[in-house]
Each structure stands twice: as C-alpha cells, then as structure tokens.
Structure 1
Amino acid sequence: MKIIFISGLSFLLSLLTYLYPVQKSQQTEIVLCHAPAGPNVSHDMAQMAADPAFQKLHENPLLFTYVGAGDMIKFSTPDGQSANGFLLKSKNPSNKWLLVYQEWWGLNDNIKQQSEAFYNDLKDVNVLAVDMYDGKVATDRAEAGKLMSGASKDRLTSIVKGAIAYAGPKAEFGSVGWCFGGMLSLQSALQEGQQAKGCVMYYGRPEQDVEKLKTLQTDVLGIFGSKDKGITPESVKQFEENMQKAGKKVTVKMYDADHGFANPSNPIYDKEAATDAYKLSLAYLKEKLKA
C-alpha cells in the first residue's frame, strides 16, 4: 500500500510540475509576442495575429458604411504585381501626401472615413489609404488574425514602396496608421527616406532596431494607451529610449485608454481620448506638411 501511495503521490507531483509551467507560459505569452520587433518582422507579426490573447484585445467592429468622396485606384508594386488604394486627390495641384495605413481589419469603411476627415482638415494634401491585404477585409477578429498572420513581409514592403512611387519623387510624405497600421506608418517613414516629413503611429508596434531608427529622416508622434496589454507602456518606453540612442525625436502621448480606443467602430471607443488624439495628430501633420 505504501508503494502504491508513494507512486500515486509521485505521479500527482509530476502532473502539477508539468501543468504549472504551461499556465505560466499562457500568462506571459502576450508579452513574448509583443517583444521588441526584430529583423524577422513577418514572423513577429504572425505570432501576434495568431495569439488568442492578442486577438481578444480587439472587439469585433460595429457595422459601418462609408458614404463620401474618394476613389479606389491601382498602382504598380516592385514585385511585378499591382496594389490597391483609396485616393482623395487634392483639389489643387499638390506634392503633399498623407499615406494612411489600416488596422488589422483591412482597408474598411472606417479607414476611408478617417482618411476623409484628414483630407477635409488638411486641405491641399493628397490622401492615400493603402490596401495592405490586396482587397481582403475582415469583419471579425479570427478572420483578421488570419489575414495579418498571412501577410508576407516582402509583399507588405512592396506595397509600401509602390505607394511611395505612385506619389512620385517630388512628393513630401506624412503617414498615419492605427494598430497594425501604426507599425506600418513607422515602417513607411523608414522607406520614404528624405521624402518623409512626418509620422503618426497610433498604438502600433514600434521598431526597436536602433540601427534602423538611425535612418529615419523625420520625427515621430506616438499615440498609445496606458491600459494596452498588447503594445504595453513598457514597450513604448523602450521605443523612446531607442529613438534617443538613434539620435531621433519622438513625442509620446499616453492616454488612459485601451488598445483600439480611437476607432469609432470599436465597442471600446473612447470619444474623449480619440478627439484629443485627432487634434494632436492634425496639428502635427499640418506643421510637418505645411498644410
């Protein structure tokens, strides 16, 4: 009986020892998936999108239909394909451009509405919302996770380069994006080189490679939420430190809000924070684009 009891106790202890690390790993998984972005950005993004904890940060968007100005266009990409964009062309000839980058849902009607708001308030600036999913749009977080995890780094880079080339060599760029698009806004600024004049990133994953940040030709306005469990205040602080190491300027505005707070189609939309963030972004872009 003693042998049986000891064997049973040993098995129970082994089982508990096995289960405990699993629970601990689940608790810290989101931190690992939101670790500083390295050179394998595509893999890191796939990790984020496939992580159930990250998906739960995004409530399914409320139904919304955009009715307004703007046209869907196509432009060539360096990989020999073509990409799509939603263009609001300046009424007067202008070399000022605002590139708008979608959330992980895709180029949906909410992004089109946000693009029109910037277009109306900036005045003589061309606004191009870039379709990073080649026509695909998600309506629930599981679908968005699949689209984001399936996004190829090479294809994303090619689309960004195609949008920059579409505007032309004399274009002066500002960029803005939310969540997935916040990260893309910063990556776009890195691709724009000397043509980059301003960059706004809403709760997007920051580039943490100091050597890459050294190549930035513009400062950055970062808008984040202190309650964000994905793009955490700790990761934002690290970004600030790395920008300082790179000799670049970043202005961070941290709101008492959660991830996705500026999206009016998001059930956790924080109108007060979103309104203030928009005013801040608009003033910044007007100054940078001299609009």
Structure 2
Amino acid sequence: MKKLSFVTSLLFMAVNAFAQTAPCCHTDAVAEFATLTSREDFRMAHKDPLPYTYQGGIGTAVTFDAPDGTPAHGFLFKASMPSDQYIFVYQEWYGLNDYIKKQSEKLYTDLGGKVNVLAVDLYDQKIATNREDAAKLVQGVSGKRLKAIIQGAIGYAGKSAKIASVGWCFGGGLSLQSGLQEGAQNVGVVMYYGMPEKELTALRTLRAPVLAIFANRDKGITPAIVDEFEKNMKTAGKTLTVKRYDADHGFANPSNPIFDSVATEDAYGQTVRFLKTVFSH
C-alpha cells in the first residue's frame, strides 16, 4: 500500500510539473512557427520594414497585470463611450511597432470608435527592425510567458468583455490561440497568414467563428497547411471562412516592400465586415 501511494505521489508530481511548464498552445503552434524562422528561405521572404513613425494622438500605452507576476504591456484605443467590446491586436514578428499602432488605430476608426482596441505587446517592449532580430525574438519568446500575457489582457478587459482578435504572421497564430484562451468571451478570430492550431481537441473548444486570410505563395504557412486547417476545422464542427490571395507572406503589411495593396484592401474589407458582424450579435 505504501509502495502504491509512493508511485501515485510521483505520478501526481509529474503531471503537476507538466501543467506548470505546458506551452501556450495545445500543439505548440508557437514552437512550430519558431522552427520556421530558422529556415533561411522563410526569413528572406520577410523584407526589412520601411521606416515609419506613428503620429496618432488617440492611443495610449497601458500596463496590466499578468498571472506570472511580470507586468504586461499594450497600446489602447479606448471606446468613445463605455463598452465591454474589445479587439485584441497581435503584432507581426517585429513586435508592437508603429505600424501595428497605426493599424490598430485604423481598425478603431473604421469601427466607429465603438470598440476598445488593445494592441497586445508579446515581446515585453522589445522591437526588431530587421528580419534577423525578429527571428531571434520569436525563437526566444517563452510559450508560458505568451500565455500569461494573453491571460493578462483578458483580465484587463474584464470578465464581462466580449473579445475578438486580429493578428498577422506570428500574431496571426497568436490571434487563434487567444481565441482559444478567451473561451466563452471570444466572439471571433481573424488571422492573417498565421500558424493554425492542428489539434482537434483544442479546435473543438473554439466558441466563435474564424476568418483566416492566407497567401498562396507563402513558403512557410503553405497552401497544404491551409488545406489541413480547413479539414480540421470542418471535422471539429467549427465555422471557418478562408480567403486565399495570390500573394506572398506578409502581403498586408504596408512596411513590407512586397505589400500588395489590392489584396490588402480586399482582405481588410473582409476583416471589418467580419468584426462588425460578430459584435452585432
């Protein structure tokens, strides 16, 4: 009996240790994306961002608590009238730079200032200005820390908040993971060329529709990965709308020399209509 108790104790300790060190994602899509960044062809597909300085005046930097004890950061566009509706914006792999602030302000304005828009800082105030440093930031970020930052953002929004998320590239995958963490508070997910979740058990927990935007010439998040995502979401019984564009990874980033204005305009129109719809329910 003592031997059985000892074995049981060991098993409990092992399970508890795993729970404390489990990564952000169910199949760790973050680690999968980080692996992509070690490939030279994937890094080279990301052109270094063009210089830009954000000049808006309605957003403000915010700091909020995270469950791991380390404060997290963001950039908030507060609704003009009190609102429990939030959009979490997730950065490209460069970090929460001025382009992300500009895009967040555009979303805020085009939704009539009726929704709180919070650009979530995934790198704890670190920003890369070139692809090599961006790859290092992705490779160095902790899945446990990412989970804490997202949980902190959810806590900042509040228990009554209805949350949608939008993200690009690295942030595209995190937008989906954010939707998974938000549970019943999530009303929708928009992901631009981000790494999808592959685990059916995780996908079955999604509570809201997903708009997924991909590039047919993407050498990282390939059409085959998109096909698999569509299949998995259908198997999980979830609502997924996929838009594919004949463009390259990062096509919607105006700081990228491969920026595709035509594809971006259409994709952005899809995004705004989707967000207006999910917040109208």
TM-score by length of 2: 0.89
1:29 alignment counterpart? none
The 5 Å alignment of 1:157-176 reads 157-176=147-166
CA contact (8 A) 2:165 2:190 kept: yes
**CA distance in structure 1 between the aligned counterparts of 2:277 and 2:35, rounded to whole angstroms:** 37
Structure 1 position 42, deviation (Å): 4.5
Given candidates 101, 107, 111, the residue that maps to 2:100 is: 111
Q: Aligned-pair distance for 1:255?
A: 0.6
The change in CA–CA distance for 1:45 and 1:225 in structure 2 (over 3 A counts) is closer
* 1:98 CA displacement: 0.3
The question of whether the paired residues in 2 share the 8 Å contact of 1:42 and 1:152 is answered with no
Pick from 55, 62, 80 the counterpart of residue 50 of structure 2.
62
SS in 1 for 2:37: helix
Q: Where does residue 202 of structure 2 map in the other structure?
A: 212
**Cα offset for 1:107?**
0.1
SS at match of 2:214: strand
The sequence identity of aligned pairs, in percent, is: 53
Matched, 1:248 2:248: no
Question: Pick from 174, 180, 199: which aligns with 2:189?
Answer: 199
Task: Note if contact 1:50-1:146 (Cα within 8 Å) is conserved in structure 2.
Answer: no
Aligned to 2:110: 121
Structure 1: segments with no counterpart, 5+ residues: 1-36
In 2, Cα distance between the equivalents of 1:219 and 1:38? 19
Task: Please point out which of 247, 257, 260 is paired with 2:250.
Answer: 260
Any idea what the Cα deviations from partners look like across 1:126-159, whole Å, max 9, x if unmatched? Answer: 0000000000000000000000000100000110
Question: Which structure is larger by alpha-carbon Rg, 1 or 2?
Answer: 1
1:237 match: 227
Structure 2: runs of 5+ lacking an equivalent: 1-24
**TM-score of the two chains, using structure 1 as the length reference:** 0.86
Aligned residue in 1 for 2:31: 43
| Alignment size in residue pairs | 255
Distance 1:225 1:45 in 2: 16
The 3-state SS of whatever aligns with 1:257 is coil
Residue in 2 that maps onto 1:286: 276
Distance 2:91 2:84 in 1: 22
Distance 1:40 1:194 in 2: 22
Shift of residue 239, structure 1, vs aligned partner? 0.1
Deviation at 1:249, TM superposition (A): 1.2
Q: Give the distance between the partners of 2:203 and 2:64, measured in 1 at CA.
A: 28
Amino acid paired to 2:40: P
The runs of 4+ residues in structure 1 deviating greater than 3 Å are: 40-43
Q: Determine helix, strand or coil for the equivalent of 1:248.
A: coil
Seen in structure 2, the aligned counterparts of structure 1 residues 40 and 121 have a Cα distance that, compared at 3 Å, is: closer
The correspondence for 1:135, drawn from 125, 128, 149, is 125
8 Å CA contact 1:226–1:255 kept in 2: the answer is yes
TM-superposed CA distance for 1:47, in Å, is: 1.4
Q: 1:131 to 1:42 in 2, by over 3 A?
A: same
- Whole-Å Cα distance in 2 between the matches of residues 56 and 236 of structure 1? 21
Q: Does 1:88 align with 2:80?
A: no
CA distance in 1, matches of 2:31, 2:182: 23
Distance 1:43 1:62 in 2: 27
- Quote the residue 1:156 is aligned against: 146
Query: What letter matches 1:86 in structure 2?
Result: F
8 Å contact 1:75–1:84 — kept in the other structure? yes
What displacement does 1:38 show?
A: 6.6
Match of 1:12 in 2: none
Residue in 2 aligned with 1:187?
177
Of the three residues 60, 63, 70, the one matched with 1:71 is 60
